[in-house]
Structure 1
Amino acid sequence: MNNLTRNGVAGGVLALGMTLGTAAVAQDVTIRWALHPGAEADAVINYFAPKYEEETGVKVIGEILPPNQLRDQMSIEAIGGTGRWDLGYHSPGWFGTFVDHVVDLTPYIEETGFDVDAYPPLIVESHMKSDARPGEIIAVPTTPAAPMLIVREDWFSHPDEQAAFEAEFGRELTVPDTWAELREVAGFFTREEGETLAGETLEHDVYGWADALGAGAGITRSFIVVLYSTGVQGWDENYEPDIDHPIVVDAAEYFVDLAQNTAPREAQNWGFLEGLEMFRDGRLATATMWPQGVGTVEDPDGDAVGNTGYSPLPAWEDNLAGYEQGTPFLGGGGVFVFDTPNADEAFKFLKWMLQDNEVEWGKQSEQFSTAGHFQSEELRNLRPYYGKFLPAYEQVLQSVFIRQGIPEYGSVMWNGTTDFITDVFSGDLTPEQAQTRWANTMTDAFRRAGYVE
């Protein structure tokens, strides 16, 4: 269906509503949404859907699908034209599958006054736009997320630790601003059972840093933030790879050293949020945390509650792009509107939920991405730790990398990173060998795709 037809459908729905009356139409409208599991899905089903039906008569049914089936199930229904769902989970890397089956949201945004500028510019570029549909808004964000650094503030500020660190490194013990400083801090705090930390004898080993290091997505998520922090982009406007730069070898050697010498062995089985229990239980001095893990870190029964500091990831010194802080992966998702007769009503619901009830969305979903979320005193006071967490997370979202809008991104960059760091970490290849293979593979893929001759 082209844009003219889409707009015609939307106009037809509006005209019908004006003719029959809003209440009468609302009773006949049911919006169905394919949801990714998480706190945001629970918020939709348990709070917003019943409240919206109470206020408007429009029923919203959320169907939570297993993460490993969500994309395929939505694809089958969309391509088959079944109209099973009016709304679907949007991951920026998935849009190519749904490019012909979702509506341009621009007319609905203009009609309802939806504020695109409420979101940080990088989220707009990543979660609301796509090169596959230039000039259009193809989705709205619900759960954009990027990782940050957390530290044990009470250990950093302890006078014994301050004195010992300054004696060893000749500088004050502070939250790391650079990856080099993080390596020093992580090594300093890596200690064995029986040693002393912050005036107490340890009953278990403590590690200086941790992130997910499990095979595949785990170690890729962890290393790729170091890689992008160097200023490497993957390739330039002429599809010339820049991953053959020597700084990539430096980043790989740094990462392997950090991971193998300051992180727990268990981290090599972790993915995404796994392992934050170790920070909660007082076994990590620093860690990489996605925002969905803040409740675990600040568990009232944990050792870290009230003692956690939050900051953006460190900067890579002498990086190629002049970044002043780390450049993490912007993940998470949003929602697109399928091309169904309910498209207009579906977007009205999204506008009502995400912007008319902006602060309530933050409270119920614990997902934060708009200026209104970060400026809300109500949200900052909602949890004892939000006053520190929210400003730091807002800063994180000012410097994130966006997955480039070509179909080959997943294979040449994401999978390329996986192959590169997995072989370097295991010792199967030297960094130089893995780098050469990656650059050659990327160039071959661009040649096959017709980007270069």
Structure 2
Amino acid sequence: MRYSTLLMGAASTLALTTASAAFAGAITIATVNNGQMIQMQGLTDEFTKAHPDITVNWVTLEENTLRERVTTDIATGGGQYDILTIGNYEVPIWGKQGWLTPLEFSADYDVDDLLPAIRGGLTVEDKLYGAPFYGESAFLMYRTDLFEKAGLTMPDDPTWEFIGEAARKLTDRSAGVNGICLRGKAGWGENMALISSMANSFGARWFDEEWAPQFDQPGWKETLTFYAELMKDAGPSGASSNGFNENLTLFQQGKCAMWIDATSAGQFVSDPKQSTVADNVGFKIYPHKDGVDNHGNWLWSWNLAIPASSKNQEDARTFIEWATSKDYTELVASKEGWVNAPPGTRTSLYENQNYLDAAPFADETKAAMNAADITKPTVDPVPYTGGQFVAIPEFQSIGTTVGQLFSAVVAGQSSVDDALAQAQSTTQREMRRAGY
């Protein structure tokens, strides 16, 4: 298998958004524009108070752009960044390649407090290559007031069939309420996170045991047809441009009766300071197809890692230890309330009564993460691991291409059959080229 495909889809030239902090005492951090990271950036002064000799420069980017920039930089040894914000997809692959520096922290950091599933996904040959900033699975968020008004009761174990019926019933265009909001923005970590998980819960799979793509099989047609029709009947206008952040805003503004996405959204929809519907939000496990015993949950973490090309590794390590520590969690709680503590990384958080009392989504988040089995993500056997992604280097390119094809269906620019046929042929070609 060739690693050159890791660069496919990335920019051919580096777009320099900031000068590299190639001198002692300054670090440049590339991160995603999610709420938790914006929060971390806002607390930079707290870090520099304790470490006045370290200057922190931020490059905050939209998710797809971040992935493109850091992938290009690390694969070419560009050295633009001292700290990368990357997922548990990249960490083990890049760690094995020698592109990341192993992390070692002080005893106070308590690495054993990291949730085993999260820590395991960031470890290569007993070395930690990424420190989790927050972790997540996926679940269903819904408006309890709208369900009550419509005479609907959300099951404890919802099926996609129920979700489809409820979404159509709850859609009220005149009132600006969409029955459901789902990711439509193209990207292997955007719409394909949702659609791959949905496909798992429908009984589909990306590849069979011989690495043959499976988009020509009934499970994928059923999945994509259900998704596209649901988005057309009950989703928001312009859904093909909506990712996590766009749907979060819609839900917070009361424009979605249901939203299925990352458990990390729980804090933002439950906080009255940020959400107009905070008092009327319920949480349930990720749906499954009737008769299929697989919820398709994903397991994801956004992590801070040091590229081997960094010239400021000790300062970078100091920042990472601060930003992913128990003390940082306490700091956020003191500034923003316990509901906003970074979720899904430490056992101690889910044993903290202050957090449990403040976070109505805590139990559902932990249950979703525990239910996610990335070693067996599908009903039928597969040669890969990963829930919402396939843990091979080539997936970054292939997943993005397929995501563009499926986003075009939501935009009304392609049919389900055409998109699946193109996904099948494109994936076959790329897998042959990679030597599978």
What TM-score does the superposition give when structure 1 sets the normalisation length? Answer: 0.71
* Length, aligned pairs only: 387
Q: How far did 1:307 drift?
A: 0.8
Which of 303, 308, 313 is 1:334 aligned to? 303
2:185 pairs with 1:187: no
Q: Distance in 2 between matches of 1:80 and 1:235?
A: 30
Q: Distance in 2 between matches of 1:30 and 1:450?
A: 44
Alpha-carbon contact 1:176-1:185 (below 8 Å) kept: no
Q: 1:120 to 1:392 in 2, by over 3 A?
A: farther
What amino acid maps onto 2:366 in structure 1? E
Which of 404, 425, 428 is 2:414 aligned to? 428
Q: 1:427 to 1:85 in 2, by over 3 A?
A: closer
Q: Distance in 2 between matches of 1:410 and 1:216?
A: 9
Identity of aligned residues (%): 17
What amino acid maps onto 2:291 in structure 1? D
2:243 pairs with 1:248: no
User: Hey, what does 1:380 align to over in structure 2?
Assistant: 356
User: Hey, what does 2:204 align to over in structure 1?
Assistant: 232
User: Hey, what does 1:210 align to over in structure 2?
Assistant: 181
Q: 1:192 to 1:102 in 2, by over 3 A?
A: closer
User: Hey, what does 2:288 align to over in structure 1?
Assistant: 315
Greater relative contact order: 1 or 2 (C-alpha under 8 angstroms, separation 6 or more)? Answer: 2
Alpha-carbon contact 1:74-1:88 (below 8 Å) kept: yes
Alpha-carbon contact 1:362-1:368 (below 8 Å) kept: no
User: Hey, what does 2:6 align to over in structure 1?
Assistant: none
What amino acid maps onto 1:210 in structure 2? C
Q: 1:97 to 1:288 in 2, by over 3 A?
A: same
Gaps of 5+ in 1: 1-27, 166-171, 194-203
2:114 pairs with 1:118: yes
Q: How far did 1:246 drift?
A: 1.4
Alpha-carbon contact 1:280-1:303 (below 8 Å) kept: yes
2:429 pairs with 1:444: yes
Q: 1:114 to 1:233 in 2, by over 3 A?
A: farther
User: Hey, what does 2:128 align to over in structure 1?
Assistant: 137
Q: Distance in 2 between matches of 1:353 and 1:216?
A: 27
Larger radius of gyration: 1
Which of 72, 87, 90 is 2:83 aligned to? 87
What amino acid maps onto 1:335 in structure 2? L
Q: How far did 1:274 drift?
A: 1.4
User: Hey, what does 2:383 align to over in structure 1?
Assistant: none
User: Hey, what does 1:367 align to over in structure 2?
Assistant: 342
Q: 1:51 to 1:147 in 2, by over 3 A?
A: same
What amino acid maps onto 1:102 in structure 2? L
Alpha-carbon contact 1:256-1:425 (below 8 Å) kept: no
User: Hey, what does 1:357 align to over in structure 2?
Assistant: 327
What TM-score does the superposition give when structure 2 sets the normalisation length? Answer: 0.73
Q: Distance in 2 between matches of 1:412 and 1:40?
A: 28
Gaps of 5+ in 2: 1-22, 375-386
Alignment root-mean-square deviation, CA = 3.8
Q: Secondary structure at the match of 2:279?
A: coil
What amino acid maps onto 2:146 in structure 1? W
Q: Distance in 1 between matches of 2:424 and 2:54?
A: 51
Moved more, 148-157 or 67-76: 67-76
- Give CA-to-partner distance per residue, 1:282-306, whole Å, 9 cap, x none: 4432123443474356445865231
Q: How far did 1:308 drift?
A: 0.7
Q: Secondary structure at the match of 2:325?
A: helix
Alpha-carbon contact 1:91-1:334 (below 8 Å) kept: yes
